[in-house]
Amino acid sequence: MNVILIPGFWWDATLWRDIEPALREAGHEVRALTLPGLGDGDDPAAVGMRDAIDAVIAAVDDVGAPVVLVGHSGGGPIAWAAADARPDRVTRVVFVDAFPLPEGANITDEWVPVDGSLPLPAWEDFDPSDLIDLTDALREEFRARAHPEPVRVAREAMHYVGDADIRRRVPATLIATGFPGAAIREAIEGGHPLMAEVREVRDVDIRDLTTGHWPQLTKPVEFSALLLDVLR
């Protein structure tokens, strides 16, 4: 299986460095992406949501079908938009502490931009559930490796270009970390407006992995095993 790994905010492809070996050893072809604006020397102020989506679409076209997209955090909605454009190639989207956005919604309005980007906030600005298992050493490493996030990727509205019914036939797996899967199911079934898109997806599988928002750092062994189970 071709597996494309899409990082969330502030991260380049190296977020997945402790996850890739297990996937490759299981026989999968793996590509971890660095989205536009997150590479060394990139200008985050020049990058918008469409640039991020187009980068994932280009990767899907490059590796060929079948493809599983794994999107972490802010990378999850971007993965779903790429599946919307290539539903014939994408066989599943795995959302890691993420979910597909409804049409017209954006990822977040949180945090104060600086020169067109969102620097990594102070730890106290995060929900405590995000920081479960994120030790002082991991926090120090995280901050050293973080890149400013393009603010337009966070703030611009999501717009789909494909047929909604076809898009919603793509199976989705939601991996719940800081918030348990039961809470996500309750939000979906309770009609939470941000869950409007995922409610319409025909095949949704919700898995739990009890840790913080960055399981690639805090529980790489367990997270790799869970991903392999989903891929099977």
Q: 31 - beta bridge partners?
A: 4
Q: Please indicate, yes or no, whether the overall pTM of this predicted structure exceeds 0.95.
A: yes
CATH superfamily, domain 2-231, is Alpha/Beta hydrolase fold, catalytic domain (3.40.50.1820)
Rounded to the nearest 10°, the torsion over CA 19, 23, 25, 30 is: -100
CB atoms within 10 A of CB 14: 13
- CA distance linking residue 25 with residue 11, whole number of Å: 24
Residue 64 has pLDDT above 90, yes or no: no
Residues 114-155 have pLDDT tens digits of 999 999 999 999 999 999 999 999 999 999 999 999 999 999
Residues 174-220 have pLDDT tens digits of 999 988 999 999 999 999 999 999 999 999 999 999 999 999 999 99
Peptide linkage before 180 cis (omega within 30 of 0): no
At 179 the pLDDT is 84
At 178 the pLDDT is 84
User: Where are the chain's structural domains?
Assistant: 2-231
Higher pLDDT, 37 or 178: 37
pLDDT grade for 65, boundaries at 50, 70 and 90? confident
Residues 41-58 have pLDDT tens digits of 899 999 999 999 999 999
Q: Measured between alpha carbons, how far apart are the two ends of the chain, in Å? A: 10
- CA distance linking residue 98 with residue 174, whole number of Å: 7
